[in-house]
Each structure stands twice: as C-alpha cells, then as structure tokens.
Amino acid sequence: MNIILLGPPGAGKGTQAHHLVESRDMIQLSTGDMLREAKDSGSEMGRIVADVMARGDLVTDDIVIGLIREKLQGNKQGGFIFDGFPRTLAQADALADLLEEQDETLDAVVELRVDDEALVERITARSTCGGCGEVYNDITKPWPADGKCAKCGSTDIKRRSDDNEDSLRNRLMEYYKKTSPLLGYYYANGQLASVDGLGDIDEVKAAIAAALDK
C-alpha cells in the first residue's frame, strides 16, 4: 500500500507516519530526510543535491522525483508513505507519472484536518527533549516537575525558533496556498480520506487505520 499524508505544519504527520512504519512495515519517504541522506551518500544523485544545496538554490522537482524513483526501486516492504511530497499539483502529476512508470499505485491520501487556532495553541506550547526527541506540551503534556525527561532523564529542553505564533501563521498560509488544491485533486480521484488531526494520538492513529482498511 502506498499512501500520501497531507496536513499543515504541526498536524502530526511525522508521528502518525512513525506508527504506520511500526504497525504496517511501511517505509516513510520524507523529502527532508531523503535530501539529507542523498547529500551524505556520495552517489551521483547525492553530489547533485549537495551542489544545489551548497549554492543555496531550491531543490527541483526533478531531483526529488529522482530520489523517490531510487527508493521505489529498492525494498518495498509494506509500501511507502509520502510525507512532504507532493506539495503542488505539478508535483502530484509528476508523482502519478512516476508511480505508473514503476508499476505502482497510489492507494490512499490521508488528510490530517485541523483547526488553525487550536493548532497554533498546541504548537506554540511544544517542546522536545534534546536527549531522546520525546515531545512535550506546556498544556497537555508538561515537562516533569523535576525538569528531567520522563523517557531518558535528560534536562535538555528544546523549542524550535519558528514555533511562535507569527511564524506558524505564515507557514500555515504558505501551506494553504500551495497544498490545498491537492485536496480537490485527490478528492476528485476518489482517493481522499480526512481525519481529525487534533484528536488524541491514539484516536488519530485509529482513524487513519480505519481509512486505510477501507
């Protein structure tokens, strides 16, 4: 099964992709991770990526499609999760062509639907442990009173510099401008399933599982 996860910044795509990797033996294809991996690989594609990034240029769709092609030709396991790609209609068309070329199908597109105000409140309260990456929230899951991570004991509390209200609203606007047309695109294709992305993690996990099992 090959699926796309759609949703604005902070909607929980990474968390839910991790659950799918564990429960369904899927492979998460995150654009950022693929670019970093390629840059350090020493391969021909990696040298192209490294050169583009060194110049400060934007990585083209052709490069990202090339990286995805390499992954599709490898071990498929339980299928692929496309996380962070496509972001535009042009990228959606390119991915459809690539999947057809590789004799693959796109089985579902899951949208993590959120309320902007609730999302802003949740993300601006977010922090992570610098030791193990455990995620905390000032409102729903505050740091332990002793200041130590409950998972690894680290006292290294990290907050993303762009997890502030102004920055987050700008990121949301950019997402809606570029990515929202994809919802209509995949709805028209009968592939879109929307779930409440602001529910409890296990509730969202169950809703995604139900959508995929259809």
- Known catalytic residues? 13, 87, 126, 160, 171
Pick out the residues of the known binding site for AMP. 31, 36, 57-59, 84-87, 91, 160, 171
Residue written as tokens 């459809």? Answer: 96
CA-CA distance, 114 to 123, in Å (whole number)? 12
Q: Which residues are annotated as a binding site for ATP?
A: 10-15, 126, 135-136, 199
Residue 83 phi, psi (nearest 5): -120, 110
Numbered residues of the known binding site for Zn(2+): 129, 132, 149, 152
Task: Determine how many CB atoms are found less than 10 A away from the CB of residue 126.
Answer: 18
Q: Which residues are annotated as a binding site?
A: 10-15, 31, 36, 57-59, 84-87, 91, 126, 129, 132, 135-136, 149, 152, 160, 171, 199
CA dihedral 98→100→105→108, nearest 10 degrees, is: 60
- As to burial, measured by CB atoms within 10 angstroms (0-12 exposed, 13-18 middle, 19+ buried), residue 178 is middle
